[in-house]
Structure 1
Amino acid sequence: MPRSPSLPARIVVRSFPDLVPPRDPLLGEDPEFFAIFRSGLAQALAPATSYEDLVAENLIAIEFELVQHRRLRDVALGQNIRDAIIEAVVNRERDDHDSELDAHHDAWIAEGHSAHAWKEPHEFDPAAARAAGTDLADRVTSLDRSVRDKALTQITELGMTPMELLGEAHRRFGNRVAYHEEKIVELEARRRAVKRDYDALQAARPVEAEVIDA
């Protein structure tokens, strides 16, 4: 009967998690965060076999990708809100500028001047309007509550409630958020499927019987 080949002496058998290649951190990511995240979930899942280790690593990877997409979604939504605020301020500044020009033109005509001789006293400055919008967007997310409340009052003066602004952010710039929301739904479905497989593996573990002497 042929003998099974033995492992060379130089090979050291390690646990499965030790064989998983290290993960390179993404841009702006704390290198230690994934290690802590993985360690915590691995301890909670408590795999007992190599195959359970493999499925657990898959589940951990899905969970971490979910965390990333949720963060990216929140960042995208925050940028959407900023863009909606800036656009609202620029539109208000342009409307005020046009109203000022109309009033100046009417006063010019009322003074008996020719309409053809009238010239705009100054042009609309989109850069200044955008800077004002950016300043308001910054103050809306200030950690200082008094600053934040004043900014929200200004937004109301623009003719928008915070909820309407949020809706506008989704409507006008929603594609940025939609991608991450779709990925979150997809990953949550994968997580449920992998977790069912993992639970089934754990349930199928052989039961260790204790031998009792007669």
Structure 2
Amino acid sequence: MRDACIRRQIKTAVTKALLEKERMKYDRAMGQHYNEHLDSHGYDEPWEAPYEFDESAVTKAAEQLNDRATSRDPQVQQAASAEISKLGLSPLDLLSASHRGTLGEGDAVDLSAEYHDAKIRELERRRRELKRDYDQLQQSRPDEGALIEQ
């Protein structure tokens, strides 16, 4: 669960960064189209965007990038890390922030690796207590009696 939590936080951060980058590219392209429209038509004709921002395609590309980043092939991982670095994110910083729980938004304490580590420590403590209680019960139970026939 701990590793899944860390992967989920990193995946969310990478997806968010890729969406921001692609949204900025889209906004720049729409600005150019708008300026071209003004140059050719002026303010007389209403302007419509030639295409919409495709968030699902960017999300799918982010999923593929995340899959490559968690690949077992070191070369594929290295290429994905380079792509993540181009987004302005450091893979090492992402990993350390997810371990500290400072990567998520909102209540990051519940999503941090420390949260899962604390849960594991609590479960281990409870297991030891139950084992101790069970051993005490085993030692204090009465001996099995013999059947007395009359």
TM-score by length of 2: 0.68
By how many angstroms is 1:123 displaced?
0.5
For 1:131, the equivalent position in structure 2 comes to 60
By how many angstroms is 1:115 displaced?
6.9
2:109 aligned with 1:180: no
Deviation track 1:86-106 (CA, whole Å, cap 9, x = no partner) reads: 222122211211111112112
> In structure 1, what is the Cα distance between the partners aligned to 2:34 and 2:98?
34
Aligned length: 124
> In structure 1, what is the Cα distance between the partners aligned to 2:98 and 2:84?
13
> In structure 1, what is the Cα distance between the partners aligned to 2:44 and 2:85?
37
By how many angstroms is 1:150 displaced?
1.0
> In structure 2, what is the Cα distance between the partners aligned to 1:120 and 1:145?
42
For 1:103, the equivalent position in structure 2 comes to 32
Q: Matched residue of 2:16: which SS?
A: helix
Q: Matched residue of 2:35: which SS?
A: helix
Q: List runs of 5+ in structure 1 lacking aligned partners.
A: 1-71, 198-214
Tell whether the 8 Å contact from 1:84 to 1:168 is kept in structure 2 after alignment. no
The within-5 A match list for 1:32-181 is 72-114=1-43, 117-166=46-95, 167=97, 170=101, 171-172=103-104, 174=108, 175-177=110-112, 178-181=114-117
> In structure 2, what is the Cα distance between the partners aligned to 1:176 and 1:108?
47
> In structure 2, what is the Cα distance between the partners aligned to 1:189 and 1:78?
27
Q: 1:164 to 1:109 in 2, by over 3 A?
A: farther
* % identity of equivalent residues: 32
Deviation track 1:5-32 (CA, whole Å, cap 9, x = no partner) reads: xxxxxxxxxxxxxxxxxxxxxxxxxxxx
Q: 1:168 to 1:98 in 2, by over 3 A?
A: farther
Q: 1:160 to 1:96 in 2, by over 3 A?
A: same
Tell whether the 8 Å contact from 2:104 to 2:111 is kept in structure 1 after alignment. no
Q: 1:131 to 1:168 in 2, by over 3 A?
A: same
Tell whether the 8 Å contact from 2:98 to 2:104 is kept in structure 1 after alignment. yes
Give the aligned residue type for 2:15: I
TM-score by length of 1: 0.50
> In structure 2, what is the Cα distance between the partners aligned to 1:75 and 1:137?
13
Q: List runs of 5+ in structure 2 lacking aligned partners.
A: 133-150
